[in-house]
Amino acid sequence: MSLTRRLVLGAAAGTLAVPYVVRAQAETFRIGALNPITGAGSPYGTGMQRMIQAAVEAINSAGGVNGRRIEVFAEDTQTSPQAAVLAAKKLIEVNRVRAILGTWSSGVSLAVIPLTNEADILLMHTSGAPALSTPPANAKNLGYRYQATNDRFGRAFAEIAVREGFRRPATMAFNNASGIGNTDGFRRAWAAKGNQNGEHVVYEPNQPSYRAELLRVLSTRPDVIVMGSFLPDTTIILREWFQTGTPVKWIIPAWAANPQLVQALGPAVTNGIIAVDSVSNEGAEAFTAYDAAYRRAMNQPGASNVYAAMTWDMANTLALAIEQAKSFETAAINAAIRRVANPPGEAVSAFAAGKAAIAAGRKINYEGASSVLDFDEFGDVTPDFGVFFIENGQFNRRYVVKI
Amino acid sequence: MVSYVVFLLVVAGIYALLAQSLCLAWGVTGLVNLGLAGFFAIGAYASATLTKWGGAPVPVGLLAAMLAGAVAGFVVCVSTLRLRDDYLAIVTLGFAEAVRVVASNEIWLTGGTDGISGIPAGLPRDWGQGFHLAALGIVTAILGLVWFALRRLVASPWGRALRAVREDQIVAAVAGKRVTRLKAEAFAIAAAIAALAGALYGHYTSYIAPEIFQPLITIYVFLAVTAGGNGRPTGAAIGAYLLIAFLEATRFAAEILPGVSAVQAAALREASVGVVLILLLRLRPRGLFPERNQKAPA
């Protein structure tokens, strides 16, 4: 028992020492990187955290913001609202962070946003739930969503289905706000075009097999299946579908249909899948810079983790907004975010360039690695959607859909 | 820092309430209740829906949560009368999962996977630190009441009968104890306590969703009760506080370790929980506060 007690005491003593260690350093602007390192979000979380750190490194080497360095404190949400709340409270109260970046699932963001509102700091997240746009969650307008809402993704899917001439679409959704948001958005938009919706199946997470759900959908003989899904479940579903030998097309969001999926299943299974993402311009300079940073940190292409591109943009927009606000106060920074991210203005794709332009008194418009990043009054983005066809393991972009 | 500690104390108080529930059902009565998270969820949803959508005051919500928990506990116990040990454990685990699946699919009642946000607290949240201190006072007072009542119950003839059921229910029945009734009573009271904890959690954090009520909560509370001593309310409560202190301490310990990536730090945190559990069971198999033998009345 003495060992345990010593462990607990030692760790508790360490806890007490933390604020002094923090205070001993020069004045910095502190941000929290609160990402899903473990749990359902783990395929994305580490990359998200590394890209916040990489972007901050670039910002600091460009002289920091308003003369201060940005300091990153990282925590794991465990993709669990309850664990995330404890981690967020620690970031806010112990590390005294002034913004939290990169919460992933909607449940986590909805659980964390009351804490950030109470502390009067910004929350930048990648969650899809519509509830995050409006009160009570976004009562103070301090929440920013870097991902297009799932409803908008759904609308883009409907445009694609029309353009590809599909007649009998079925939908499958992972049972969370994000998954159902995608398929509901699709079904609404599809019905609004005067079409008939097909079978709709919502499946529970963490199943070893989705054969029952899949057969229910396939038995209605759809010509396309529109997914609201994530990487692990999509991998299983596509494998089981391929074994059935039934011909059908797939429309899948790019966070699930990514190079890792192709790597797991091979080019034969994934051939012809339509992957949809919000990177408006893969030639964008911000994307090139992000992609290089992602390859350095994670040894994988940047396109394999759309959420990491979003966290890269979070750090950059936040830094530019601080630079624009000439202040470290939340209200001033919040007011400056749309000013640096939205048109009109000189398009910039990196912090250093934006900082120089702001110093020269010019209005800037940050064009991000994840999308053009123009925020509406709710703090949501409406990007254009890139439509990719997976052919022989390659992602070939065919066209862009605007909604 | 102070408000972080206050926040942790509130959360730990809620875990301590769950530990009281498990102490009664498992420690004293011997009913392995792996469905703790389910009763926790039932309480949270009962109180949140009543106060948010029904406009009921928070104390009414808390009472309704306990009632809902007790009814659910009674139903689960009565429908599993013939099950003991592992079999009961599996059924209760299934019950908790069923509650979670119902909560994520019955959108009209529970808001689905979006959960319920903006749950009223019964206290003004704009008190800032004062709100958290008041919440701490209320949760601690409720915990104190439950702890006191449970101590009295466990020491009473009723508590003795429960322990007799735990040790050998046939002998207890032969001795004239009404085993079924005793089990149902204990299980329903335990479920009501867990539901109360859930209601408090919802009102304090203002947000609940199905994914909060994962089996991991049940495991953590088992850990707390095992550490503290499963037959004594005092041990269970202290175990819960130690558990939260330990879990949070690993967060800072992982930061201090040099050259550890985020994924490795997360894995180390989880591993350390397992190591401590093994050490505890090796060195202190009956917990920090082992159950004391009660002398027979003279």
Taking one residue from A and the other from B, the number of pairs with CB-CB distance under 8 angstroms is 134
| Cβ–Cβ contact A192 with B under 8 A | no
Q: What is the pLDDT of residue B298?
A: 62
Average pLDDT over residues B200-217: 92
Q: Tell me, what amino acid is at A327?
A: S
- 3-class secondary structure, A237: helix
Which residues have a Cβ under 8 Å from the Cβ of A212 and sit 6 or more positions away? Answer: none
Which tokens go with B43? 């309480």
CA of A178, closest CA in chain B: separation in Å? 9
Residue of A nearest to B4 (CA): A93
- 3-class secondary structure, B166: helix
What's the DSSP call for residue B25?
I
| Domain locations in chain A as residue ranges | 2-148+284-358, 150-277+384-401
Residue A148 clears pLDDT 90, i.e. is over it: no
Summarize pLDDT for A213-241 with one digit per residue, the tens. 999 999 999 999 999 999 999 999 999 99
The residue among A242, A279, A234 whose CA lies nearest residue A260 is A234
Q: What is the pLDDT of residue A280?
A: 52
Euclidean distance between CA atoms B235 and A347, whole angstroms: 63
- At B288, the pLDDT band (50, 70, 90 cuts) reads confident
Is the pLDDT higher at B133 or at A8? B133
Q: What is the pLDDT of residue B111?
A: 86
Which residues have a Cβ under 8 Å from the Cβ of A352 and sit 6 or more positions away? Answer: A58, A62
Are A205 and A40 within 8 A, CB to CB? yes
Euclidean distance between CA atoms B188 and B69, whole angstroms: 7
CB contact under 8 A, B252 and A176: no
Euclidean distance between CA atoms A346 and A364, whole angstroms: 5
Indicate the range of A65-69, A267-271, B121-125 predicted with least confidence: B121-125
Q: What rounded mean pLDDT belongs to chain B?
A: 92
Residue A98 clears pLDDT 90, i.e. is over it: yes
Q: What are the Cα distances from residue A255, in Å, to A227, A228, A384, B51, B243?
A: 11, 10, 16, 38, 36
Q: How many CB atoms lie within 10 A of CB B219?
A: 15
Residue A281 clears pLDDT 70, i.e. is over it: no
Summarize pLDDT for A391-401 with one digit per residue, the tens. 999 989 899 89
CB contact under 8 A, B118 and A19: no
Q: How many CB atoms lie within 10 A of CB A376?
A: 12
Q: Give the up-direction half-sphere exposure of residue A343: CA atoms within 13 A in the CB hemisphere.
A: 6
Are B96 and B36 within 8 A, CB to CB? yes
Interface probe with A: pick from B206, B213, B250, B275, most Cβ of A within 10 Å? B206
**Per-residue DSSP letters for A338-361?**
HHHHSSSSEEE-SHHHHHHHHHTT
What's the DSSP call for residue A205?
S
- At A5, the pLDDT band (50, 70, 90 cuts) reads low
Q: What are the Cα distances from residue A85, in Å, to A103, A394, B14, B239?
A: 11, 40, 14, 21
- At A1, the pLDDT band (50, 70, 90 cuts) reads very low
| Cβ–Cβ contact A90 with B under 8 A | yes
Return the top range by mean pLDDT from A14-28, B131-145, B244-258. B131-145
Average pLDDT over residues A313-318: 96
Residue A284 clears pLDDT 90, i.e. is over it: no
Euclidean distance between CA atoms A275 and B40, whole angstroms: 40
The residue among A168, A205, A169, A200 whose CA lies nearest residue A184 is A200
Are B93 and B35 within 8 A, CB to CB? yes
Q: What rounded mean pLDDT belongs to chain A?
A: 90
Euclidean distance between CA atoms B246 and B273, whole angstroms: 8
Q: Give the up-direction half-sphere exposure of residue B207: CA atoms within 13 A in the CB hemisphere.
A: 25
Residue B294 clears pLDDT 80, i.e. is over it: no
What are the residues facing A33 on neighbouring strands?
A: A74, A101
Q: What is the pLDDT of residue A128?
A: 84
Summarize pLDDT for A26-73 with one digit per residue, the tens. 789 999 999 999 988 898 999 999 999 999 999 999 999 999 999 999
CA of A317, closest CA in chain B: separation in Å? 24
Q: What is the pLDDT of residue B83?
A: 77
Q: Do A2-148+284-358 and A150-277+384-401 agree at the fold level?
A: yes
Are A116 and A138 within 8 A, CB to CB? no
Summarize pLDDT for B138-188 with one digit per residue, the tens. 999 999 999 999 999 999 999 999 999 999 989 999 999 999 999 999 999
Residue B238 lies in a domain: no
CATH superfamily of the A2-148+284-358 domain? Response regulator (3.40.50.2300)
User: What does chain A come to in residues?
Assistant: 403
| Cβ–Cβ contact A89 with B under 8 A | yes
Residue A24 clears pLDDT 50, i.e. is over it: no
Residue B20 lies in a domain: yes
Q: Tell me, what amino acid is at B177?
A: K
Residue B107 clears pLDDT 60, i.e. is over it: yes
Which tokens go with B39? 């009763």
Residue reference for tokens 């910004």 = A122
Q: What is the pLDDT of residue B177?
A: 92
Residues of A with Cβ-Cβ distance to B253 under 8 angstroms: 11, 14
Average pLDDT over residues B116-134: 89
**Phi/psi of residue A31, each to 5°?**
-125, 155
- Domain residue limits at B51: 2-214
Which tokens go with A7? 């462990």
- At A6, the pLDDT band (50, 70, 90 cuts) reads low
The number of distinct structural domains making up chain B is 1
- At A88, the pLDDT band (50, 70, 90 cuts) reads very high
Interface probe with B: pick from A4, A20, A91, most Cβ of B within 10 Å? A4
Residue B276 lies in a domain: no
Average pLDDT over residues A188-206: 92
- At B54, the pLDDT band (50, 70, 90 cuts) reads very high
Average pLDDT over residues B202-224: 92
Residue B269 clears pLDDT 60, i.e. is over it: yes
- 3-class secondary structure, A169: strand
Which tokens go with A373? 């990043």
Q: What is the pLDDT of residue A13?
A: 58
Specify the CATH number of the domain A150-277+384-401.
Answer: 3.40.50.2300
Q: Tell me, what amino acid is at B209?
A: A
Is the pLDDT higher at B160 or at A21? B160
**Per-residue DSSP letters for A348-395?**
E-SHHHHHHHHHTT--EEE--SSS---B-TTS-B---EEEEEEETTEE
Q: What is the pLDDT of residue A308?
A: 94
Interface probe with B: pick from A5, A93, A140, most Cβ of B within 10 Å? A93
Summarize pLDDT for A247-260 with one digit per residue, the tens. 999 999 988 998 88
Which tokens go with A349? 């794709």
Q: Which of A12, A85, A94 is opposite residue B205, by nearest beta carbon? A: A85
Average pLDDT over residues A75-98: 95
Q: What percent of chain A has pLDDT over 70?
A: 93
What's the DSSP call for residue A223?
S
What's the DSSP call for residue B204?
H
Q: What is the pLDDT of residue A172?
A: 97
- At B281, the pLDDT band (50, 70, 90 cuts) reads confident
Q: What percent of chain B has pLDDT over 70?
A: 98
